[in-house]
Chains A and B, each alone.
Chain A
Amino acid sequence: DTGVSQDPRHKITKRGQNVTFRCDPISEHNRLYWYRQTLGQGPEFLTYFQNEAQLEKSRLLSDRFSAERPKGSFSTLEIQRTEQGDSAMYLCASSFFRTRRIENEQFFGPGTRLTVL
């Protein structure tokens, strides 16, 4: 499978615990996005990387959230001191961006479903 992969697919944790999710983008893609989706809503943007640089973070992303893409390939999203409100599907997407190229097809992974008890 050459698509975007995410691990784990499901995570159940207790309030206050830390969790980390991983995303492996399509290999030649230089941009990687994280979104969060709660029940009955569309995905909401959290942050994105171009290569290893984190270029934007949403105001939705509290200080408890941190994302990295250390070598410009896979990315991790960590949530510290989880709260019940963090329960959601966390989606990763990747795309190939080139200046002046206006196409922007983002390819999504299957998501990681987080449940905080």
Chain B
Amino acid sequence: AQRVTQPEKLLSVFKGAPVELKCNYSYSGSPELFWYVQYSRQRLQLLLRHISRESIKGFTADLNKGETSFHLKKPFAQEEDSAMYYCALSGLQGAQKLVFGQGTRLTINP
């Protein structure tokens, strides 16, 4: 079964502190992993995907196949990072429908 688990519904950190949003997945095969973000009153948008190995807005995420994890990290949080973050997976081929986790609301305190 395809499943994405984000164990923290809420995460609150102070500005300048490191941030780590956890994501674990189960998938039989090689999935493609994503982080989507939804800022207040905006639509869901792609933040980053594992195949591109990019750093977007200071965020990085490494796919750990052994631990089936794809945690999102940022060394120094900024207030504008406050948002809802969703981890998602899809198959590399075929339908490519997204399976989302339940999301983590990140709040950066000044």
**A93 cross-chain contacts in B, Cβ below 8 A:** 98
Contact of A40 among B45, B49, B96, B102 (CB under 8 A): B102
**A48 cross-chain contacts in B, Cβ below 8 A:** 95, 97
| Cβ < 8 Å to B, chain A residues 76-117 | 91, 93, 95, 97, 102-111
Contact of A102 among B45, B51, B98 (CB under 8 A): B51
- Bound-state CA distance A91–B49 (Å) is 20
**B32 cross-chain contacts in A, Cβ below 8 A:** 102, 104
Contact of A42 among B49, B92, B93, B101 (CB under 8 A): B101
| Cβ < 8 Å to B, chain A residues 2-38 | 3-4, 31, 33, 35
Q: Are A103 and B51 in contact (CB under 8 A)?
A: yes
Q: Are A111 and B43 in contact (CB under 8 A)?
A: yes
Q: Are B51 and A33 in contact (CB under 8 A)?
A: no
Interface CB pairs A-B, < 8 A, 27: A4-B43, A33-B98, A40-B9, A41-B102, A42-B4, A42-B101, A42-B102, A42-B103, A43-B44, A45-B97, A45-B98, A45-B99, A48-B95, A56-B95, A56-B97, A91-B44, A93-B98, A97-B96, A102-B32, A102-B92, A102-B93, A103-B49, A103-B51, A104-B32, A105-B46, A106-B98, A108-B43
- Contacts A42-B100, A103-B51 known; list 9 others, CB within 8 Å: A33-B98, A40-B9, A41-B102, A42-B6, A56-B97, A91-B44, A93-B98, A97-B96, A109-B43
Which residues of A are in contact with B by a Cβ distance under 8 Å? 3-4, 31, 33, 35, 40-45, 48, 55-56, 91, 93, 95, 97, 102-111
